[in-house]
């Protein structure tokens, strides 16, 4: 387990730039985050794109081509200060940042047939140590783990209570309101890391650091870094 929590920029530095975009990821790198977190879907023509579905709530991503998706100006949707910002592909993000990446797989093989194979193809030229893979669907994580030796997979959940975590998982990522010291210690006793999402309150950040969590997902990685630094003194 980590002596200090990893700073995981949730959809990039998404408080300051449109989430899941190149500007947000580059800003997270400037703010010295340890990881960026992003969400992937697959287009009608088989490209992995990085976005959260609420951006195009009334459209099904699997029914749109990459060209159609990248015609959407998410800079205008989320901030007039970032006009002409488009939805990137996973390939583009990996080229534009040197940070480690937490890839959340949205959907499953039923919604996006072949998404695991496509994902493994996209990342094949990078060291597997650069990535953590997460999902609310543990079956898709099981398949990925079987197909790629050394892959680290972590289960997302709303509440960890009463939930069974399969042995192939390396960690659990629960919604922060359900995280307490007893739960963290219990997961650690099972050799599972604990990384709560999404924490933007400095007071709560401090509490989690004292609990010994292994990472914190946040929209404000610069603030989390300052909190961590302040805890050293």
Q: CA separation (Å) from 15 to 46, 75, 173?
A: 30, 13, 20
Catalytic residue at 41? no
CA distance 2 to 38: 22
CA 70, 72, 75, 78 torsion: positive or negative? negative
H helical segments located in the chain: 22-30, 66-69, 74-78, 90-96, 115-123, 138-147, 181-189, 202-211, 221-230
Which residue among the candidates 10, 41, 188, 233 is catalytic per the annotation?
10
Catalytic residue at 82? no
> Strand pairing of 193-194 and 171-174?
parallel
Which residue among the candidates 41, 52, 82, 233 is catalytic per the annotation?
52
Please give the positions annotated as active site: 10, 52
């Amino acid at each position: 387990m980590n002596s200090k929590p990893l700073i995981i920029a949730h959809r990039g530095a998404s408080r300051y730039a449109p989430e899941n975009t190149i500007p947000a990821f580059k800003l997270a790198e400037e703010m010295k985050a340890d990881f960026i977190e992003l969400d992937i879907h697959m287009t009608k023509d088989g490209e992995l794109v990085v976005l959260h579905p609420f951006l195009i709530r009334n459209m099904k991503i699997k029914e749109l081509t990459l060209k159609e998706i990248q015609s959407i100006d998410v800079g205008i949707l989320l901030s007039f200060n970032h006009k002409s910002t488009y939805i990137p592909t996973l390939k583009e993000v990996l080229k534009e940042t040197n940070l480690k990446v937490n890839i959340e797989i949205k959907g499953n093989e039923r919604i996006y047939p072949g998404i695991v194979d496509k994902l493994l193809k996209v990342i094949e030229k990078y060291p597997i140590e650069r990535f953590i893979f997460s999902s609310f669907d543990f079956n898709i994580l099981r398949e990925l783990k079987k197909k790629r030796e050394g892959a680290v997979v972590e289960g997302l959940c709303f509440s960890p209570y009463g939930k069974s975590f399969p042995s192939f998982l390396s960690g659990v990522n629960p919604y922060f309101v359900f995280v307490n010291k007893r739960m963290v210690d219990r997961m650690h006793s099972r050799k599972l890391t604990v990384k709560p999402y999404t924490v933007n309150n400095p007071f709560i950040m401090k509490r989690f650091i004292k609990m010994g969590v292994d990472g914190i997902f946040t929209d404000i990685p610069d603030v989390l870094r300052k909190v961590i630094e302040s805890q050293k003194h």
